[in-house]
């Protein structure tokens, strides 16, 4: 963290040098002393400091300057740094102006020039003011700041990307945060495109894509090699486990992830049934541990990066990524999981990420403080989200189509929900319409039992209605079931026959698809158990078969 700044401004070069010298001698270790020879020059530099989120502890400013008086400067500087102490240096003749400034710009002190000896006439005053400042000062947030609007889908996308990739950031809402407005004003006359992302080095990105942001913060988005023994697509539990096992057993492994490592599990607020963590752990925690473990074994993790196409040129499996790059390998594992199914009701598409969210969108939790939050779905993911949002929201209402949660949710979660007074479960209820101008303002709920429709005001709706695989890019390559889940192993043998095009003298291995050397693990596999432990298990087992396959390539 940069040291807080003590600013001195004086148009007389001799005086300026002397003041700066005295200040550095006395305060140089704790504060950075900066100087300027005019008010406008100092204001320009101050704006840059503000963009870098640096702090100013004190201004020591000459009153009589030709372009801008000391009082005029302090008036402007105060809007940027209201907490900084303000001291005016005056000639004896200007004492009146200084006294008036005590009221108009709330100066903390005025000193009459010359201040020699500083030990007697300068430092005691400044010591006091700086001690005071240090005592009441809260250090600013040191990382990335995101300025945007609560209901903007692009602001949500940036927050979600940073949050899911575990990059700390501070969110500043332009509509409610004075600091956000000030930061945007400083960029005038340009009007920045929102969301605006400010970095600690003073640089910024306006309305960046996740890829631009990832590159700026140093995430790896491009592969280092053109060829790998094993390419794993999807960094959920299945893909991460496969990458850890593969790399730890000597396979050159790259892991390609479209959004953020962790997959669905990474969005869980509390996982309580994963073996070895009796007190439970968050999805973010599990992801961080798994990613560290993979990196320790030299797995390259490319994120955000997306699989677009696969082609087979024996003995290679070639993957084309979204940026057009080709990577080749001998063995490929598909662990692309499932994505949330969309809620197909009027208004939903238009308001997605502007009040209607798929998944837990934990980044929105604080914004829901003291509001009502609606959750659609009756599975564990919905239950975990309800528990999480209940910490912030006034009330959480779970809407579930069946007549009880028992059919779809684990008992441990049902018990927790029952004990939470601000969670209400409405059974046999479903959302039939959502509405709002620029963001969600109300939703209509149909009670299937009574047939009654009610429209309620609402600003947040989180949807958890199961997942569907997104495997269209595999069309014509590997066999899938009618819902898009990938078939593997014994599921490919029909009437004792191997899949079409299969030309090996053996059956597909347990987790091998209809193309030799292309494997599948986790939720995207037809018939898989949709659990973290099952994904981890399948990812690990797949590596065993990958070794057998590689032994014969």
For position 234 contacting ligand FAD by CB under 6 A, the verdict is: yes
Q: Which is nearer to ligand FAD, 90 or 380 (CB)?
A: 380
> Does 239 participate in binding ligand FAD (rule CB under 6 A)?
yes
Should residue 237 be labelled a site residue for ligand FAD when binding is judged by CB under 6 A? yes
The residue written with tokens 């999480």 in the block is: 388
Separation of CA 142 from chain center: 16
The one among 54, 300, 306, 491 contacting ligand FAD by CB under 6 A: 306
Q: Find the shortest distance in angstroms from Cβ 81 to ligand FAD.
A: 43
Strand 307-313 versus strand 316-321 pairing type: antiparallel
Among 10-18, 124-132, 173-181, 254-262, the segment contacting ligand FAD (CB under 6 A):
254-262
CA–CA separation, 303 vs 174, rounded Å?
29
Q: Is 532 in the site for ligand FAD (CB under 6 A)?
A: yes
What's the closest the beta carbon of residue 243 comes to ligand FAD, in angstroms? 11
Q: Using an 8 Å Cβ cutoff, are 111 and 86 in contact?
A: no
Neighbours of 344 (CB within 10 A): 8
Q: Provide the 10 A C-beta neighbour count for residue 82.
A: 11
Query: Which structure tokens are listed for 38?
Result: 């005019």
Spatial neighbors of 388 by CB under 8 A, at least 6 apart, are: 269, 270, 360, 362, 365
Q: Which of these segments, 311-319, 345-353, 376-384, 422-430, binds ligand FAD (CB under 6 A)?
A: 376-384
**Which residues make Cβ contacts (< 8 Å) with residue 250, sequence separation at least 6?**
none
Residue in 5, 130, 162, 235 binding ligand FAD, rule: CB under 6 A: 235
* CB of 191 or CB of 273, closer to ligand FAD: 273
> Does the protein bind ligand FAD through residue 463 (CB under 6 A)?
no
What span, in angstroms and rounded, lies between the C-alpha atoms of 98 and 90? 7
Piece of 86-94, 170-178, 220-228, 528-536 that binds ligand FAD (CB under 6 A):
528-536
Q: In this structure, what token pair is assigned to residue 543?
A: 């590596």
CB of 338 to ligand FAD, least distance (A): 5
Candidate ranges 33-41, 59-67, 137-145, 522-530; the one touching ligand FAD (CB under 6 A): 522-530
Alpha helices in 174-209 (DSSP H): 178-186
**CB nearer ligand FAD, residue 440 or residue 532:** 532
Per-residue DSSP letter, 177: -
d(CA 205, CA 548): 47
Which residues between 320 and 359 bind ligand FAD (CB under 6 A)? 335-338
| Among the residue ranges 237-245, 424-432, 483-491, 511-519, the one whose residues contact ligand FAD (CB under 6 A) | 237-245
| Tokens representing residue 245 in the block | 């096992």
Which is it for the CA torsion 48, 51, 55, 57, positive or negative? positive
384 binds ligand FAD (CB under 6 A): yes
Q: Which helix (H) or strand (E) holds 532?
A: helix 532-550
Which of 281, 307, 329, 351 is in the footprint of ligand FAD by CB under 6 A? Answer: 307
Task: Give yes or no for a contact between 517 and 491, defined as CB atoms under 8 angstroms apart.
Answer: no
Query: For ligand FAD, which residue of 26, 53, 221, 268 counts as binding (CB under 6 A)?
Result: 268
Q: Which stretch binds ligand FAD (CB under 6 A): 111-119, 153-161, 219-227, 380-388?
A: 380-388
Q: How far is the CB of 412 from ligand FAD (least distance, A)?
A: 10
233 binds ligand FAD (CB under 6 A): yes
From CA 48, how far away is CA 507, in angstroms rounded?
A: 66
Cβ contacts of residue 471 below 8 Å, gap of 6+? 334, 336, 480, 484, 485, 486, 524
- The strand pair at 5-9 and 196-198 is best described as unpaired
**Binder among 9, 74, 238, 487 for ligand FAD (CB under 6 A):** 238
Contact pattern for ligand FAD over residues 269 through 288, marking x by CB under 6 A: --x-x---------------
Q: Is 236 in the site for ligand FAD (CB under 6 A)?
A: yes
User: Does residue number 232 form part of the binding site for ligand FAD (CB under 6 A)?
Assistant: no
How far apart are alpha carbons 62 and 409 in whole angstroms?
70
Q: Is 64 in the site for ligand FAD (CB under 6 A)?
A: no
Q: Is the Cβ–Cβ distance between 302 and 221 less than 8 Å?
A: yes
**How many CB atoms sit inside 10 A of residue 118's CB?**
18
The window from 145-153, 229-237, 244-252, 503-511 that contacts ligand FAD (CB under 6 A) reads 229-237
Instruction: Yes or no: say if 60 and 32 are a contact pair by the CB < 8 Å rule.
Output: no
- Select the span of 103-111, 172-180, 252-260, 286-294 touching ligand FAD (CB under 6 A): 252-260
Minimum distance from residue 485 beta carbon to ligand FAD (Å): 11
Name which of 268 and 513 has its Cβ closer to ligand FAD. 268
How many of the chain's residues bind ligand FAD (CB under 6 A)? 36
Q: Does residue 300 interact with ligand FAD by CB under 6 A?
A: no
Nearer to ligand FAD, 39 or 337 (CB): 337
SS3 state at 397: strand
Phi-psi region of 328 (alpha: psi -120 to 50; beta: other; left: phi over 0): beta
Phi-psi region of 338 (alpha: psi -120 to 50; beta: other; left: phi over 0): beta
Task: Check binding of 185 to ligand FAD (CB under 6 A).
Answer: no
**Which residues bind to ligand FAD, rule: CB under 6 A?**
233-239, 256-259, 263-265, 267-268, 271, 273, 306-307, 335-338, 360, 380-381, 384, 470, 522-523, 530-533, 535
């Amino acid at each position: 963290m940069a040291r807080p700044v003590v600013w001195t401004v004086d148009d007389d070069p001799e005086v300026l040098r002397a003041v700066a010298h005295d200040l550095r001698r006395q305060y140089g270790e704790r504060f950075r002393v900066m100087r300027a020879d005019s008010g406008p020059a100092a204001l320009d530099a101050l704006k840059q400091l503000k963009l870098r989120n640096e702090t100013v502890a004190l201004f020591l400013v000459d009153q009589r300057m030709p372009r801008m008086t000391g009082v005029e400067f302090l008036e402007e500087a105060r809007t940027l740094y209201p907490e900084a102490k303000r001291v005016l240096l005056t000639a004896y003749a200007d004492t009146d102006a200084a006294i008036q400034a005590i009221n108009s710009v709330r100066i903390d002190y005025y000193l009459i020039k010359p201040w020699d000896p500083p030990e007697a006439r300068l430092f005691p005053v400044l010591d006091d003011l700086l001690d005071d400042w240090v005592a009441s000062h809260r250090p600013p947030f040191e990382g990335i700041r995101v300025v945007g609007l609560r209901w903007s889908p692009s602001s949500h996308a940036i927050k979600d990307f940073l949050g899911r990739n575990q990059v700390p950031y501070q969110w500043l809402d332009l509509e409610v945060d004075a600091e956000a407005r000030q930061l945007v004003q400083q960029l005038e006359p340009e009007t920045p495109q929102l969301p605006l992302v400010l970095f600690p080095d003073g640089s910024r990105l306006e309305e960046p894509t996740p890829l631009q942001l990832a590159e700026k913060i140093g995430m790896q988005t491009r592969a280092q090699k053109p060829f790998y023994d094993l390419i794993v697509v999807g960094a959920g539990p299945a893909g991460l486990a496969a990458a850890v096992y593969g790399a730890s057993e000597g396979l050159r492994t790259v892991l390609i992830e479209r959004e953020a490592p962790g997959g669905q599990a990474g969005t869980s607020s509390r996982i309580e049934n994963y073996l070895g963590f009796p007190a439970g752990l968050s999805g973010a925690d599990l992801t961080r541990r798994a990613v560290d473990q993979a990196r320790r074994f030299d797995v390259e993790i490319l994120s955000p990066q997306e699989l677009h196409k696969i082609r087979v040129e024996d003995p290679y499996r070639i993957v084309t990524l979204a940026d057009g790059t080709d990577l080749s390998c001998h063995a490929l594992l598909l662990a692309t999981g499932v994505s949330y199914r969309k809620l197909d009701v009027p208004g939903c598409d238009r308001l997605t990420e502007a009040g209607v969210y798929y998944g837990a969108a934990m980044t929105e939790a604080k914004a829901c403080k003291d509001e009502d939050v609606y959750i659609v779905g009756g599975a564990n993911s919905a239950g975990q989200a309800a528990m999480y949002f209940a910490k912030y929201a006034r009330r959480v209402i779970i809407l579930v189509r069946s007549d009880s949660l028992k059919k779809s949710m684990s008992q441990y979660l049902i018990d927790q929900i029952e004990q939470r007074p601000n969670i209400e479960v409405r059974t046999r209820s479903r959302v039939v319409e959502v509405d709002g101008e620029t963001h969600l303002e109300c939703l209509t709920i149909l009670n299937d039992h009574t047939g009654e429709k009610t429209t309620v005001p609402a600003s947040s709706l989180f949807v958890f209605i199961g997942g569907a695989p997104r495997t269209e890019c595999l069309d014509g390559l590997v066999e899938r079931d009618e819902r898009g889940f990938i078939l593997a192993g014994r599921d490919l043998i029909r009437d004792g026959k191997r899949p079409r095009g299969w030309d090996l003298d053996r059956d597909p291995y347990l987790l091998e698809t209809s193309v030799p050397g292309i494997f599948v693990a986790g939720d995207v596999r037809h018939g898989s158990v949709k659990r973290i432990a099952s994904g981890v298990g399948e990812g690990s087992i797949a590596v065993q078969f990958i070794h057998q396959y590689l032994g014969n390539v």
